[in-house]
Amino acid sequence: MSESFEPNIVAFLCNWCSYAGADLAGTSRVQYPANINVIRVMCSGRVNPLFVMNALQQGADGVLVSGCHPGDCHYMEGNFYARRRLGMLKDLMEFVGIDPRRFHMSWVSASEGHKWKEVVQKTVDDAREAGPFQGFRRRQIDW
């Protein structure tokens, strides 16, 4: 992969923790890569696996889902469901040959601006290593 490749990352952040954490990172002037396109959802449990697949189909090179730490969910248990669901999606995607570096999940609380930076850095680095994800793009194929 050429050095200049900048991956396109779609991040689904829960409203109560991770979005606030990313916000904190911003207000504390923590520098993190600008490859992230944030979509705010009310809870990580809201993330339908189809969201992830659609992001990849429409041109994302990597997807990140981030929510509250287990036990801290604003809705008590949403992230527990998300953990099962997306863990399974990760297994499935890996099995059909989608690079596991393209999909990450993290717990970032509202106070973890610095953790947010690390998570983003890792997601972007991984996606950069994995390279542009051409195979699955809608428009690349028979459009």
Partner 1 sequence: MDLEKLRKTAAEIVSRDDVKYLIGWRPGSFGYRVSPCFVQDAAGAEELIFSPLCASNLATYLTLVEKLPVPRGEEPDRRKVALLVKGCDSRAVVQLLVEKGIEREQVILVGLPCRGVVDLNLLQQKYPEGLEKGELSWQEGGFQLIRNGETATIPREEILAEKCRLCRYPNPVLSDVTIGDPVEPWETEADRGVEELEQKSVEERWDYWEEQFSKCIRCYSCRNACPLCYCDDCILDRLNPIWINRAVNFSENTAFHLARAFHLGGRCAECGECERACPMNIPLGKLNRKLAKEVREKYGYEAGVDPEAKPFLASYNPNDPEEFIL
Partner 2 sequence: MSAMLLNKDQWSAFVGKLAGEKKVWAPVKRGDIMRFEPLEEGAVPSLDFANTTVPPKTVVFPQTETLYRYRIGQAELAVPVLEGEAVLLGVRPCDARAMSIVQKLFRWDVDDPYYLKRREAATLVGLACSAPGTNCFCTSVGGGPASTEGLDLLMTDLGESYLLEALTDKGKALLEAAQDLLQEAPAGAVQEKEKVVGAAEKAIARSVDTTGIPQGLPGLWEHPLWQRTAAGCLGCGTCTFLCPTCHCFDIQDEVEGFEGRRCRMWDSCMFAEYTLHASGHNPRPTRRERTRNRINHKYNYFVQKFDVIACVGCGRCVNLCPVNIDLVEILRQVKEAL
Site of interaction with partner 2 (CB under 8 A): 58, 138-139, 142-143
CB atoms inside a 10 Å sphere around CB 77: 12
Q: Report the site for partner 1 in 106-125 (rule: CB under 8 A).
A: 106-107, 118-119, 122-123
**Could you tell me which stretch among 4-12, 18-26, 28-36, 45-53 binds partner 1 (CB under 8 A)?**
45-53
The phi and psi torsions of 89 (rounded to 5 degrees) equal -60, -40
Distances (CA, A) of 13 to 2, 113, 136: 30, 13, 24
Residue 37 binding partner per list partner 2, partner 1, none, with a CB distance cut-off of 5 to 8 Å that depends on partner kind: none
Residue 122 binding partner per list partner 2, partner 1, none, with a CB distance cut-off of 5 to 8 Å that depends on partner kind: partner 1
Quote the CA–CA distance of 51 and 88 in Å, as a whole number: 15
Nearer to partner 2, 29 or 139 (CB): 139
Distances (CA, A) of 111 to 16, 18, 25, 138: 11, 9, 9, 38
Q: Name the residues that contact partner 1, by CB under 8 A.
A: 49-50, 53-54, 57, 70-71, 77, 80-81, 83-85, 87-100, 104-107, 118-119, 122-123, 135-138, 140-142
